[in-house]
């Protein structure tokens, strides 16, 4: 293993897609590069944009390099198959939708593995950090939509009639499994927890052009292959209480085969005690208020909005609310037998 494991925080990697803005700066005081910032990759082991450790003995190393050093002590036994592929399982982003994102869909693992050179599929969840009054997103298809009606609408330029719009507000969570047509629309800022994949099939991009003055590529054939044409899952998650303690409540938001995501709310000064037993790493991100995470081997400050990785071999840890706070907690579920 080498270096003793400790809570890891990272330098974000920014992306400047055409739909972005500056609200990560104005809402959260982030230091941003000039121009449009659409995404901040907070915790990433993806080859296209790996994040680097910002403090401690492994400062400057990318997450894939940390994976090479710590192996199972980082990800845990539940992620042994991902470790064999040299992949950290989960990717965390912040997205600032100043304009609507493209209407898109992601493949599952089987389709991506066959058609995207062994890439992973992409299921994801959004936690809405900010929503302008009346903000919406696109989630799934309108009632009665078929593949045939979808294609006809694409050809006629009337695709919006085929899509389901959902009103959102700050604090909402939305699970987007692979195969679900979706798009963030203007006026939303979200934290996204997803499989470690960057495979996206665009089907519609609102007629706009990219920085080069040309329309951005679409991937209609692939999208038609992977869209779930059946019934849609509920769009807004109903949190399920799983633990109530002294000054805190823990609620489950998403439980799916790749990952589990919870919302942990703590009163000012309250603590939550957990343990990384070797089965899975944990991701903690403060999305409101302020907290810290400490263990025998180090501490990480978590102002809103900030994420950290607790290695699987970390052992006991404590989350303390320095102000009343809400935190996202994510970990990798045991693989199905």
Say yes or no: 116 and 55 in one domain: yes
Q: Is residue 1 part of a domain?
A: no
Any bridge partners for residue 303, and if so which? 290
Asked whether 310 and 7 are in contact (CB, 8 A), the reply is yes
Burial per residue of 211-236, b for 16 or more beta-carbon CB atoms within 10 angstroms, e otherwise: eeeeeeebbeebbbebbbeeebeebe
DSSP secondary structure letter of residue 214: S
Say yes or no: 199 and 296 in one domain: no
Q: What is the mean pLDDT of residues 137-156?
A: 95
Burial class (CB in 10 A: 0-12, 13-18, 19+), 56: middle
Say yes or no: 169 and 213 in one domain: yes
Say yes or no: 187 and 281 in one domain: no
Give the integer Cα–Cα distance in Å for 145 and 236.
Answer: 21
With bands split at pLDDT 50, 70 and 90, how would you rate the model's confidence at 335?
Answer: confident
Say yes or no: 213 and 247 in one domain: no
Nearest to 277 by CA among 331, 313, 308: 313
Domain CATH number, residue 149: 2.60.120.10
Q: What is the mean pLDDT of residues 114-141?
A: 95
Specify the pLDDT at position 337: 59
pLDDT score of 1 more than 70: no
Say yes or no: 199 and 266 in one domain: no
* 120: three-class secondary structure by DSSP: coil
> Percent of the chain having pLDDT more than 90?
90
Q: Is residue 3 part of a domain?
A: no
Say yes or no: 53 and 188 in one domain: yes
**pLDDT per residue as tens digits for the range 51-62:** 999 999 999 999
**pLDDT per residue as tens digits for the range 298-331:** 999 999 999 999 999 999 999 999 999 999 999 9
Give me the domain span that covers residue 189.
10-75+85-226
pLDDT score of 234 more than 80: no
CA 319, chain centre distance (Å): 21
Specify the pLDDT at position 3: 74
**Among the residues of 116-200, which ranges form H helices?**
147-156
Q: Is residue 305 part of a domain?
A: yes
Specify the pLDDT at position 210: 82
With bands split at pLDDT 50, 70 and 90, how would you rate the model's confidence at 213?
Answer: confident
Specify the pLDDT at position 2: 60
Looking at 226, 257, 277, the residue that finishes a domain is: 226
Specify the pLDDT at position 211: 83
Q: Is residue 203 part of a domain?
A: yes
CA 52, chain centre distance (Å): 18
Say yes or no: 190 and 266 in one domain: no
Number of domains making up the chain: 2
Looking at 226, 250, 276, the residue that finishes a domain is: 226
**pLDDT per residue as tens digits for the range 69-105:** 999 999 999 999 999 999 999 999 999 999 999 999 9
* 296: three-class secondary structure by DSSP: coil
Q: Considering 202, 250, 251, 329, which one is annotated as catalytic? A: 202
Looking at 193, 226, 259, the residue that finishes a domain is: 226
Say yes or no: 208 and 269 in one domain: no
Q: Is residue 5 part of a domain?
A: no
Q: Is residue 167 part of a domain?
A: yes
pLDDT score of 336 more than 80: no
**pLDDT per residue as tens digits for the range 14-28:** 999 999 999 999 999
Q: CA geometry: angle at 228 spanning 103 and 136, to 5°?
A: 40
Specify the pLDDT at position 18: 93
- Look at phi and psi of residue 72 and say left if phi exceeds 0, alpha if psi is from -120 to 50, else beta: alpha
The verdict on whether 202 is a catalytic residue reads yes
Q: Is residue 93 part of a domain?
A: yes
Say yes or no: 92 and 188 in one domain: yes
Instruction: Record the pTM.
Output: 0.95
Q: Is residue 92 part of a domain?
A: yes
Q: 282 vs 220, 298, 323, CA distance in Å?
A: 36, 15, 22
Q: What is the mean pLDDT of residues 277-288?
A: 97
Say yes or no: 144 and 290 in one domain: no
Specify the pLDDT at position 310: 98
> Percent of the chain having pLDDT more than 70?
98
Say yes or no: 207 and 110 in one domain: yes
């Amino acid at each position: 293993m080498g270096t003793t494991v400790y809570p890891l925080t990272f330098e974000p990697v920014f992306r400047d897609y055409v739909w972005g803005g500056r609200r990560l700066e104005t809402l959260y005081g982030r230091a941003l590069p000039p121009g449009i910032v659409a995404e901040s990759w907070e915790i990433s082991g993806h080859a296209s944009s790996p994040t680097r450790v910002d403090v401690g003995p492994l400062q400057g190393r990318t997450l894939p390099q940390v994976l090479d050093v710590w192996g199972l002590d980082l990800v845990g036994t539940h992620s042994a198959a991902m470790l064999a592929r040299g992949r950290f399982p989960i990717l965390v982003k912040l997205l600032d939708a100043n304009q609507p994102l493209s209407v898109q869909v992601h493949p599952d693992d089987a389709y991506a593995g066959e058609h995207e050179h062994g890439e992973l599929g992409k299921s994801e969840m959004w936690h809405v950090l900010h929503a302008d009054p009346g903000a919406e997103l696109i989630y799934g298809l309108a009632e009665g939509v078929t593949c045939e009606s979808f294609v006809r609408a694409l050809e006629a330029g009337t695709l919006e009639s085929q899509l389901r719009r959902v009103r959102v507000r700050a604090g909402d969570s939305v699970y987007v499994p692979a195969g679900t047509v979706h798009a963030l629309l203007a006026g939303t800022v979200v934290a996204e927890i997803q499989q470690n994949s960057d495979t996206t099939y665009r089907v519609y991009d609102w007629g706009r052009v990219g920085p080069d003055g040309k329309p951005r590529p679409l991937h209609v054939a692939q999208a038609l292959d992977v869209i779930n044409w059946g019934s849609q899952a509920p769009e807004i998650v109903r949190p399920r209480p799983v633990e109530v303690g002294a000054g805190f409540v823990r609620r489950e938001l998403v439980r799916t085969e790749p990952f589990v995501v919870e919302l942990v709310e703590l009163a000012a000064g309250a603590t939550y005690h957990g343990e990384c037993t070797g089965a899975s790493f944990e991701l903690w991100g403060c999305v409101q208020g302020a907290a810290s995470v400490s263990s025998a081997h180090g501490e990480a400050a978590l102002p809103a909005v900030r994420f950290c990785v607790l290695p699987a071999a970390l052992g006991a840890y404590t989350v303390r609310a320095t102000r009343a706070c809400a935190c996202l907690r994510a970990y990798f579920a045991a693989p199905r037998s």
